[in-house]
Amino acid sequence: MAGGGSAIRGSRVGAGPMGEAERGEAAPRQAVTYFCSHGHRSVVTFAVEAVAPEAWDCPKCGLPASMDRENPPPAPKIEPYKTHLAYVKERRSDAEAADILNEAVQLLRSRRKSGDLIF
């Protein structure tokens, strides 16, 4: 097909940027600046009619950030991981634990004496 042309020559699906005429006009926006305790400055864009939140997570370090540059929110206190034993010790005193252990050992010994196979 020499010399023939296509009506949409040079275009393909997804080719090239579209202008506002094709997309419509952008909604009015507001830029809000947040500051974290590491001194990072983040600008977040919201619609004009939206109420900007008081706090926003810093995209650089993940700490909470606020609009107050002089008083950014402090980093949250991270609780250390607790083991199962730590939770048990919160619920039982050492004396209660000793009583429960003695009861279990006596039950085990009595079952062994009666001939139960316990591994």
Q: Report domain extents, the chain.
A: 27-66, 84-113
Confidence at 88, pLDDT banded by 50, 70, 90: confident
Provide, rounded to the nearest whole percent, the portion of the chain with pLDDT above 70: 80
Q: State the residue for tokens 């997804």.
A: 14
Q: What is the pLDDT of residue 2?
A: 54
- Distance of alpha carbon 80 from alpha carbon 78, whole angstroms: 6
Mean pLDDT of the chain: 85
Cα–chain-centroid distance for residue 28?
30
Confidence at 18, pLDDT banded by 50, 70, 90: low
Q: Which CATH number applies to 27-66: 2.20.28.270, 3.90.550.10, 1.10.3720.10, 1.20.120.420?
A: 2.20.28.270
- Distance of alpha carbon 73 from alpha carbon 64, whole angstroms: 6
Q: What is the pTM of this model?
A: 0.50
Structural tokens at position 66: 């606020």
25: left (phi over 0), alpha (psi -120 to 50) or beta: beta
**Per-residue pLDDT averaged across 64-91, rounded?**
91
Q: What is the pLDDT of residue 10?
A: 59
Asked if 69 and 103 touch (Cβ cutoff 8 Å), the reply is no
- Distance of alpha carbon 73 from alpha carbon 35, whole angstroms: 9
Structural tokens at position 15: 């080719």
pLDDT digits (tens, 9 = 90+) for 48-75: 999 999 999 999 999 999 999 999 999 8
